[in-house]
Structure 1
Amino acid sequence: MAQLKPILSHFDPIIPYGPAKFKPDKTTAYRFRFPPRITLWSFLFLFLLLLFFFCSPPSSTSAGKRRSLQNTVFSGRHRLSPNWETKARNSALPRSKSGFSVLVTGAAGFVGTHVAIALKQRGDGVVGFDNFNNYYEIGLKKARKSLLDRHCVFIIEGDINDAALLGRLFDIVHFTHVMHLAAQAGVRYAMHNPSSYIHSNVNGFVTLLEACKNANPQPSIVWASSSSVYGLNSKVPFSEKDRTDQPASLYAATKKAGEEIAHAYNHIHGLSITGLRFFTVYGPWGRPDMAYYFFTKDILRGKEIKIFEGANHATVARDFTYIDDVVKGCLAALDAAKKSTGSGGKKRGDAQFKIYNLGNTSPVPVAKLVSILEKLLKTKAKKKVLPMPTNGDVLFTHANISLAAKELGYKPSTDLVTGLQKFVEWYLGYYGSKKKSAW
């Protein structure tokens, strides 16, 4: 923050009142003389009068105003309801003593909504947290919130960088686990708004880890990294043992930074942390900035879609992973997470630190994705093949999931045709309603 400059470079001369006179001498511009009427006793009387004024009890009117202000809580640009604390406590209660109490950040997001509902359905207590930003249509996020409301999942609307709000939340709810899914997503958007990635993916993550570190007891943390961390790595399939120090985008760099930050908090403060590298998650209630989503939209509108290819007509392919498979992996990671070992920010012993790939192990060319959508939508796409722009996208992703399979029992079971069919059915139902205007 820029340093404030003084308004005045020197003090203005003070001119005494009353009959006293003053004369400038050679060493100072002005010499101050107290008027004879102002004595030591006068100053003492004024001091006692001010002391009585400031120390007197507040009137009932001012006290009432303070109480009304306490009932209206603001979190950044978000207003919290007067009874948000009670709602959070109730939503966090599991059905049984063995159930978890989970904070899900990014709960109005694609993966967050599905994870929160799955946790609630199996009997865990869940509190959601989301800032409902306008990276993509807020109406879709509000619709997801309505879905969560029907499943009795309470969402706090606030910024993950609001340390005071998070601190208060951790004071009133003793979460056993945190599923951290809040993030600024998208590779290409970083070209237009890079600071949003630092704000959410770096600063926001640190703010959350600080809250978890200071909590007593400390929760176990599972958070969403990304397959993007593999960057320019050419070895396939991507393994957790591969190098991840060559990010191809700012988004990837912030996710890689998150992994290093997580390791530091694990090492210093004893937080149990598990990172999940998602591989191109798709499905109902998905993100409109994903290719399968806007391809569907443009094909139905009769608009031209762009299919990119690498140098020398190299194929662009993705390891598309259906949302239900990813949710199973998230819940398995929560179940396998060991307890944090810190207390009040102080480490008591070594804590678990894990990273897993959650993919489908079957990369599919983007051209084939379009072909499947054409058949499901019964509409021919207007295609234009173009060279891949230098915006941070990579040619292919391919997950090695052997570690997740071994330690989490992770086993994806949804092929791309089946998954896209479920997405298209949802898409036509959601946007086909007269109440929806996102077309």
Structure 2
Amino acid sequence: MTLADAQARTSGLRTLVHRPDADAALLIQVLEDFGRFTPMAATDGNDGVILDVTGCTHLFGEEAGMIRAVEARARRIGLNVRTALAGTPQAARAVVRFGRGGVIPTGQDRQVVRALPIAALERDEKDHQALTRAGLRTLGDLDDRPTAPLAARFGTDLPVQLMRILGQEDVRITPLRPPAPCIVDRILFEPITETTDVEAVISDLLAEAVVWLEQRSLGGRAFEVAFFRIDGATRRITVRTGRATRDACAVIRLFKERLAALATPLDPGFGFDQLRLSVPVTQVIAPIQSGFEAKPIGNDDLDRLIDRLTARLGPEAVGRFEPVESHLPERATRLVWAGRRRGEAAWPPRDPESPPLRPLQMFNPPQPIETVSLAPDGPPARFRWRRVTHSIVRAEGPERIGAEWWRSPGHRARDYYRVEDNKGHRFWVFRAGFYGEEPEPRWYIHGLFA
């Protein structure tokens, strides 16, 4: 009825504005808070949360203790809830919405669910009336019938749905975020508020995570800590490393840097009662033999510096170059943020006794120059660039690089030369096109050698 009619019939009627967006935001907030029980959590409709607690119940005193903990947590944040625990998500949903809830003993899902009304299938009104007129009042009545006539009358999805509700077929839930391969939890009996206590708990979690990674020859590229407050607020802090690592001391230093550089400081409120460390990005670490020989050549110091800058300034503030599979020099590299996972392409090996083939400083696009050559297809004898004439005393080349005809048909083949002028400056120049073609070939400078 309309609001005016309702107010005319009932004096003192209290009305509230329906805000679906606020309800949805509250449900997501509850889901974030209930992530303290399991990383496998998802919403169920507009008014439900479903948790996959496989392997987590022992942290709360088995299944009955888990139910009590969930209900106590809901009451603390002002919610009235009905809970059920079953072998499959569909069985738990049916029991909590159309039954009395509670814990279904292992192996008794079918026996308990059979007593539920036919409405637990949640079919449309037409199918519900057809099933009721056929004398089918409960799921047990439907379970006693052969599946072939039901599939022919109501579709093949009805028997499948019935089997899932009866607990005969298990389909896992799709969590709000995919759980990380490595997850370590710490439930605290007394909430903590001091930074030193938080860092101590993170160190303990990292020690456990390192053991897990070592057993699988893995290293972490990203480490995330979730802080669960008593009042239901959840905060996540992530640090990333340039390469896979199992160094707990280095990671805890990164967390200290990150916590100190947060734009919004970590507010414990009345305290954190649970911390969870996850390693969402892992990578295989090849074993390195140590001893007898000198320390392997590497960029450990540079990697540590990049990790510290990334933790302090944020992953988007620090960039690095990575190779790209392209033979064109201007497309052979790209700039990415430091925390991104390294691509499959690798830098080509370099001979330390030979001069570099590519300059560190390159121009994009290449800059045109005016040249004078002793031979049409030879290197330039001198060239003019930025109003300065350079006389060439040494030249090496050519290195021919063909055009990517499948990408840009108008591009031309290039002949690259490494040249040095009489003042010791070294340049990387090329000629685009060949003599005798139309249009005439042009010379460009593409980079400068240090």
Q: TM-score of the superposition, structure 1-length normalised?
A: 0.20
Name the structure where strand makes up a greater proportion of residues.
Answer: 2
Q: Which has the higher contact order (CA 8 A, sep 6+)?
A: 1
Q: TM-score of the superposition, structure 2-length normalised?
A: 0.20
Instruction: Report the structure number with the largest CA radius of gyration.
Output: 2
